[in-house]
Every structure is written in structure tokens, then in C-alpha cells.
Amino acid sequence: MSSTKPRVLIEDWLPVAELGIESRREAAPIPGQFPKLKVLHVWWARRPLVASAAVALAGVLPAWSEDLAKAFPHAIELADEAAYRRWLLHLVGIWGDPVYGRKVIDAANAAGVKLKGNGYGYKQAFRNPIPRMDIDLLHAVLIHTWGKLPTLADPTAGGGSIPWAASRLGLPVVANDLNGVAASVLKAGVEIPAIKGLDLVPELKKWGQILVRRVKERLKEYFPLRGGESVIAYIWANAIACPRTGRLIPLMPDKWLSKTAGKQAAVRMLTEYNGIELPEPIFEVTLGKDVDKTDASTGTRARGKAISPYDNLVIDGDYIKQAAQAGQMKQVLYAVAIRKPSGQRTFRAPTQTDLDAIAAAEAELEERKALWQATGILPSEEIPVEANYDRGHRMYGINTWLDFFTPRQALVHGAFSEEFARIVPEVQESLGESADAVLVELAMMQGKALNWNSRASTWDVSRQKIRNVFEKHNFSFKWTFAEFEGAALYSWALDQLIDAYDGIARLLDETGASDDDLEDRLRRNVTVLQGSAASVDLEDGSVVHICMDPPYYDNVMYAELADYFYVWEKRTLGRLIPDYFRNDLTDKQNEAVANPARFAAMGRRRKELADLDYETKMTSIFEESRRVLTDDGVLSVMFTHKRAEAWDTLGMGLMQAGFTIESSWPVNTESEVSLHQANVNSAASTIMLVCRKRDDRDGATKIYLDDIEQDIRRAAREAATRFQHDGIEGVDLLLSTYGPTLSVISQSWPVYSSTPDEDGRDKLLRPEEALALAREEIVDLRRSRLVGKAAKVDNLTDFVLLAWDTFAAREFPFDTARLLALAVGGLDIDELARAKVVAKSSGKVTLLAPSERVRRGGDSKAPGVRPEAASFDFIIDAVDTTLYIAEHDGMPAAKRFLDKHGYTNDAGFISTLQGLVNAMPRAKAKGEWVVPEAGSLDTLCTLYFPDVTLPEATDVATLVEDKPEALFEME
């Protein structure tokens, strides 16, 4: 990097441990404490606000220097480097010690101890308003560094976490997204509240109430209530005709409505009444002790097949699909969840009044449907055939976006669309220039309602509530579903909107407000653009910091998912911002994702072409970022994907576009595995890559991978050593080396592979070749630390050691396990499965316990647990056989086995024991070992291997006892 470029803070430091803990705090579903930006409208894979704020800010704040301190002699925040770093934490809302607080909370949870308050002593970071004096000092430092307030741009802004967090701190912000739905969310969640603030709330309430009152009046006859009850949900099942009797079969996995102790409820299906066979079942609700648990647990559908309740014979899954695709699948209401006037929640069976209202709604929709589709009220678009989320819905006859809704649900959403169209000119005439802001926010109600009222929203038996459509990022078919009470739906959606907008605007208004005058708000400059990130409407060199959270390879097909909203919202939002909704459906051609469905016609090459397409588009986006970036500006890229292919394409795109990677930081932004839950683990870090424009180097001398191999290995070691002190472990520690590895390559780019192509010519290095070296280096480093010396036992044993060390869990993702196996010694997962070291299933790999590795008869040389074996080729087999004998026959029998085979003094065996006790989680919860083998090893080594050093076992209650009581008090 040129010395003329101001060095920024993120190139030297980022508080990764604190940000990781606060990110997980932010994601916790605490009532009333969830970021309201996420409540406003569905968007997928939003980054945490606290991490977004820290990266956005650290990318423009200068690195601390004595010159900076001298420029602001009265600012104690700049007095020294430690104070400066504390100031960054304060600016992003971290007002305590989250590292220690998290340790105490984990220990308390594992020990079953209930803490007072939240355990941290301060609110979640994103909820803390930053005082005006801090904002004024921040702006003064930034103007001193850059000459003016630096502009931040996010060209793939999605749900808006980055631009919102930057705008909150008063930075000029440009937010862009290709997707019209995302751009609308950016306008509603970032631009409008930044400019209008809380002033808009009264008008939102006024016009929102007018709108929902009109919708309710139109719909209430189709949702009759009886005896003062209110309806929580109508619970339905999809149904087909029995192929043998012609009678209707509701396709229900079971008949439970509630399994809560003391409040159990289920339906009973009646196929005849007074001895007369019914053409379709009727239902009764049973409550409490009257529930027949066996019957409640017995459904009519399992694994794609059905069982006819009329003759108890199986109906093949192909018949069900054929009937559905022929339009013969029907929907049957089988229960109603209600709240009585007393407030009691319970269930009742459908009444004839309910069924008559449903029939009336179907007739009303049938009468209006053609006109509504012709006049742009209802969607008529078909779901594209080539899609990644095609398997479930199309298989069962859902071919248009309207098919996701029953006729009554469609009538509800159509009534809102029509009333919204009618109210637009009224609001515009009344409010003038503020009208569109109010209307854009009101239109957000539609997205909320669509997400909670369709054939893809379901009844959550355990939590007694409706699940929304996008609890998972797909369109999987739902056999049973829940319907919202339609006349009340948009009233609820308005309450949700007001709460979300008020929360978003309040955090903005309170941050930077004058101490004595809340009306003296911080002025904010936000611009929202809609278009390709490869062609942004910005001038050359106009942006100091491009901070982006790009699409993650093949993680989420945003455009395919967003079509669900797009087809409706172009008929509401599209009236206000038509440029966002120009096309029939979302733009998938220009979306930067690895989308194999776009290349379905290419057969086996579709994945290869999808990868190339993603790389090409990301390169174009990075090239455009280079154009709009100032010469001394910074590009920061947040990336969460765990697959090596994703990192390979991302790294290639950055380097081909002319960037160097200056530094990288792993921040644990996803869910955390607690001490007492050690069965499952997966990578949880977002890697923050910090990039600069590359200065052209003299290309006269070609650089090959061999030339920089030692630099790569050294960078990987240094990164692993550094980040493990910040609480980065396991899979995330592997990922933490990817940024430094890419950095080494990028500084020397172009770099060529040490292996020529098939014609003997030099070929550009693929980053994955270098990433493999980094993984090998970390494997060697961790192995040496586990056994206390540089030692390699055998491949199978090494894999078990490194798997426990890397994952600290018995179960972990297949792809990461594959990479670890390769790094250990060229193993593959199939080989490990044949050796009974692991079991594999649906994207996961599980380390087998000694009792699961037992082999009886067969090939005497095959790996596994063999109590009668004469010898073992792999030490892990000898260790597991010892543990198996100890478990079943006692430790003395295990000692006889060890003596017989000479393992008591075997150096390799002892090294493996040392490695295992260091690698396995040595934690107890309520006196029991979390990993049983850890306890067995502890006893074995204590009795017979005194030279093995046993790390102290974690007593999960200890930290709680040491914690000052004051920290547990309520805020």
C-alpha cells in the first residue's frame, strides 16, 4: 500500500471478540429487543447492526497516531491508542465488557443458574444512542483526515444493515441494490427514517388506520366470530381424493394442536356419522385428558406417501403429486385456534358458519379475479420453471404466485391492494411532498401480511403461534398450514409497521440529538439507488469507503425468493416508485449469485458455468467499486460462506479487479454452541476483508506459488496464533487464515500456479491452491500443540484429533470436514466412513463413539474397535478399543488389554492420549461429562498414564460464583 494513503483503523485492529458477542446478543429473539430494521420487511441474511457499524466506522477512522492526538489535544478519547480503541467500542454502543459477561452467562446457563438482568450490565449495543459530543468529535476527526465527511457506499445493500448503521453515525451514505424489493426496503428502512424521523409517525398512524379500517369493513363478513371470541389461526390441511373410494383425505403428519403440559389439544377425524360414511371427514377437538395421544400422533401422511383413513391402505406419493398437478388437491379446515373473551387460548372445531364464510369468500374472489388481474390488483405471473427452489411447490401444483394462497387469503390481499390504490391520491392531495414517504411505509404492511398468511405459513404446535413463510429460505411445500384471521390481518400489520418504523426512527433521532433539545436532530444524507452493482450511478473517485456484504455464492437465491413479494408489491409500491418494478419479475440475469438453474440446459456443466458466472459478475462489481473509490479509499467486504469454492471465486474476483487484501478479521456473527451443547458445530464467522486499490507492479518477473509458499504458511500461522486469543476457535480459526492467505497472493498478483495447464503453459493461480496450503499449516500447528511436540501419528488418528480440536463437537458440516480430511493427509470422507471413524448424512459428518465403531468378524485388518484383535494399524482404533473395554468390562480389563499390546509405554499411543485430552471438550454440566469419552480418558490417564497432562476440567458453575452480584442487576 502506498504511504500516501491514510492508514485506517480497520487495517490495524477490529474488536473481533466483542463484536462477535454483541452480534449474537443482537440476534437473540428477545421480545421488544430485536432490531426493528429486521421487523419492517423480510430480507435474507442481514448482517448484525453492531458489526456493520464497527466495520463502516473503522474503515474511515484513521489509525491512531501521536499526530492525531496532537491535533485534538483536549480529546481524552484520542489521548492514546487504548483510549482510541475504547472510543470505537463506545461509538458502536458497546458500553461494558461483553467478553467476561458472555463467559458468565454461558456458565450460568450450563449450570441452570438464573441471572438477574441480562448478565452484561448494559443494553444491546445497537440500542444505545450515541451522544452528540461523540458524534461531533467523530465528524471533526473524519474531516481532519479526509477534508470533508467521507461518503460510504454499499453497492449490494440488501436489507440495509450497513447503510443504516453508517447513516446513524451521520456519515453520507449511498445504498444500492439490484432487486426492487430490496431497494424498497432500503428506502423505507434507511432513507425515509433518516430524513423524516419520528415526525412521520402521526401521519402513518392516521392514514394507516383509515386504510386498514376500509380493508376490515370489506372483509369482516368472511371471518365471522362467535361469542366474543377472537381467532388466532385457522388451521388447514391439503387434501386429495382416495384413489379407491373417492373420499377426501386430509394429508396430516399428525393431529396435534398443542402438546403443552396441561393444555394438550388435538383433533379427532371422523369418517362416518351415525353409521353413514362421509364423503370427507369432519373433525372434533379434544382437550386435556380427553386427548388420545396415540391417535393424535397418528397422521395420514409420511415420507411423501399417504394412508387412507377409509381402508388403511397406502397411497403412493406419485399419485398425490399427479392429483395435485392436475388441480385436484383441495384444502380442508380442521381446527380453529381462538382466544375467548376471558383471554383463555384454546381450540374449537370448524362450524358450518366458518365453512359458509369460506365458500362466500371463494365466490367473491371468483367474481372479482379476472377484473383484479386485468387492473393490476392481483398477480397473474407464473413461477419460473428454472429455479433452485422449484422442488416442493411445483411438485404439488403450485405453478403461479397466486397459487400460494387459498381463495380467501387471496381475497384478503387483493382487498388491501385495491384499497391502497384508492388511498394513494387522497394522501398525495393531503400531504404534498411527504405523501410518498407515508405511502411507501404503509405499503410495507403488505410484505408483512404476505409473509404471515399463505399456504406456506404453518401452525407451530410447540410455540402456539403461526410460523411465517420464510422461517427457512425456500419454498418447501407445507402439508398443513395456518391462516391469519383476515379481517384483523392488516390491523396487526399496521401495528407491526408503526412499531418497526418508530423503533428505527427513534434510534436515529436519539443518536446525535442535542442534550437539551431532541428536535435538534443530526442531519443525515442518504441516497438509495436501484440497479446493478456493476454499474452504479456515482462519479469516479467519489467514495472513500465501499463497505459491502455481497451475495454469498450459492447461499441464498435472493431474486427467486423475492419474487414472492415482488409480484404483489409492484402493484402497490410500484405505483410510487415504478423504476424499482420495471420488469414482470425480479432481475435474475444480472444477479451475482452462483445459480445453477440459469444453466439447467447445460446439463452436467451447469454448476461449473454458474460458478464462472458468479466470479465474472463479482469481478465486474469489484471493478466498478474500484472506479468510484478514491485512490486512498478502502473497500471492505463481509463474507460468511464456508465452502472453499466460494472463497476461491471471491478472491479471484477481488484480485482480477485490481485490489489487494490488506487485512482480515473474523467476527463470530452467528449462533453460538454453549458449553453444555457439544453435539453439533458449524462455522459461525463473518470474515471482514479490508482491501485497497493495487498499485501496478513491474510484471517482468513472473511469480509462482512456490515463490510465496512460505509467506502463505507464515501468514496462516500468525493469523491462527493471533485470533485464537480473541476467542476464535475451530472452524472459524481455519476461516481466519483465508483472508491473510488471499492477502499474500494479492500483494504479488498476478501469481501463477506451480502446475502448468494441459498444454504446458503457465496458468493463473486459483486461490484455492493457496488456501489448501494454509489449511495444511494450521493442521500441523494444531497437531503440534495438542500433543506437545511436532508429531504425526497416522492419518486416521490425526483426523480424529484435529476434528475434536477444530469442531469441539461430535457433529459438523460435511464440506468443512472434507477440507480438514484433505489437509490432514489426503483423506476423503468416504474413506473415513469405511474405517468407521465417522458417519455421514445430509450435509453432516458425525464422529462415532467407541461403541459405534465395533466390528464383528469380517476383514481382521479393517479399522475399527476390535477387543480380540492381535494388532492395530491405527492408534485411534487401539484407543477406542481400550475405552470400549473400560466401558463394558471395567478399567482393570482395559489395563490388561494395554499391557497385552504394549501400549502402556508406547510413545505414539501416549501422544494420542495427550492430544485427545487436549482436543476434546473437558466440561461437566451438573456433574456429568459433556463428552463421555472425555471422562473415560480422564480416568484412564489418571490411573495408568501419569505422564499425560490433564487440562483442568471446566466446572460450569465456577464463573457464576466469582461474578460480582452487581452485574446481575436489572438495567
Mean pLDDT, rounded, for 708-734: 81
Specify the pLDDT at position 644. Answer: 66
Specify the pLDDT at position 674. Answer: 36
pLDDT tens, 549-577? 988 777 788 999 999 999 999 999 999 99
From the number of C-beta atoms within 10 Å of its C-beta (0-12, 13-18, 19+), residue 769 rates as middle
642 confidence band (pLDDT: 50, 70, 90) = low
For residues 738 and 771, the answer to whether their CB atoms sit within 8 Å is yes
Specify the pLDDT at position 968. Answer: 33
Task: Please check the confidence at residue 748 and state whether its pLDDT lies above 80.
Answer: yes
Specify the pLDDT at position 787. Answer: 81
pLDDT tens, 394-408? 889 999 999 999 999
What Rg do the C-alpha atoms of the chain give, in angstroms? 31
Give the residue, 717 or 177, on which the prediction is more confident.
177
Specify the pLDDT at position 699. Answer: 63
pLDDT tens, 172-181? 999 999 999 9
- Which of 701-705, 829-833, 929-933, 957-961 comes out lowest in average pLDDT? 957-961
Specify the pLDDT at position 672. Answer: 45
Mean pLDDT, rounded, for 208-212: 98
Mean pLDDT, rounded, for 275-284: 90
- The share of the chain scoring above pLDDT 90, in percent, equals 64
**pTM of the entire predicted model:** 0.85
Task: Please check the confidence at residue 29 and state whether its pLDDT lies above 80.
Answer: no
961 confidence band (pLDDT: 50, 70, 90) = very low
Pairing of strands 659-668, 703-704: unpaired
Specify the pLDDT at position 139. Answer: 97
Specify the pLDDT at position 518. Answer: 56
What is the H or E stretch that residue 38 is in? Answer: helix 36-40
* Nearest C-alpha neighbor of 772 from the set 829, 702, 824, 731: 824
868 confidence band (pLDDT: 50, 70, 90) = confident
Task: Please check the confidence at residue 694 and state whether its pLDDT lies above 50.
Answer: yes
What is the H or E stretch that residue 704 is in? Answer: strand 703-704
pLDDT tens, 376-430? 999 999 998 877 776 668 889 999 999 999 999 999 999 999 999 999 999 999 9
pLDDT tens, 158-176? 999 999 999 999 999 999 9
1 confidence band (pLDDT: 50, 70, 90) = very low
Task: Please check the confidence at residue 701 and state whether its pLDDT lies above 90.
Answer: no
Task: Please check the confidence at residue 512 and state whether its pLDDT lies above 50.
Answer: yes
Task: Please check the confidence at residue 813 and state whether its pLDDT lies above 90.
Answer: no
517 confidence band (pLDDT: 50, 70, 90) = low
From the number of C-beta atoms within 10 Å of its C-beta (0-12, 13-18, 19+), residue 546 rates as buried
Measured between alpha carbons, how far is 661 from 646 in angstroms, rounded to an integer? 16
Specify the pLDDT at position 962. Answer: 44
DSSP per position, 455-472: TT-EEETTTTEEEPGGGS
812 confidence band (pLDDT: 50, 70, 90) = confident
Which own/partner contact pairs does 273-278 have at CB distance under 8 Å and 24+ positions apart? 277/247, 277/310, 278/247
70 confidence band (pLDDT: 50, 70, 90) = very high
